[in-house]
Amino acid sequence: MAAPIRVGGLDAEEAEDLVQALAARGLVAHLIRTRSDWHVEVREAHEETERLLADVRTALDLWVRARGRPAPDVTVGEPDDPAPDQLDDALKGRVP
């Protein structure tokens, strides 16, 4: 199973557009809202991380060039920043 690949630092419109660009190349991506911005996540149960990352980077490079914008951040693995719906669980131990 491939580790999740996240493309971050996007606004909502960019994230939706990137999901469509990845879909056009056969990659299934999901939108994730964090406290500060949007991420696009690609997970494939039956794919190797290195191959999936290469496919995502190729699609991302084309998307970046077509829009004339700087390349967004790409991370591999589980996120360090909990999603908003996971914040309650993450903070339970800290709230007296």
Residue 88 has pLDDT above 50, yes or no: no
DSSP-based three-state secondary structure for 24: helix
Position of tokens 């990137």? 18
Residue 10 has pLDDT above 50, yes or no: yes
Is-contact 83 34, C-beta < 8 A? yes
27-81 pLDDT, tens digit per residue, is 999 999 988 889 999 988 888 888 999 999 999 999 999 999 898 999 998 766 5
Other beta carbons within 10 Å of 21: 19
CA angle in degrees (0–180, nearest 5) for 77-79-80: 125
Residue 96 has pLDDT above 90, yes or no: no
For 3-7, 48-52, 85-89, which range has the lowest pLDDT when averaged over its residues?
A: 85-89
Query: Whole-model pTM?
Result: 0.76
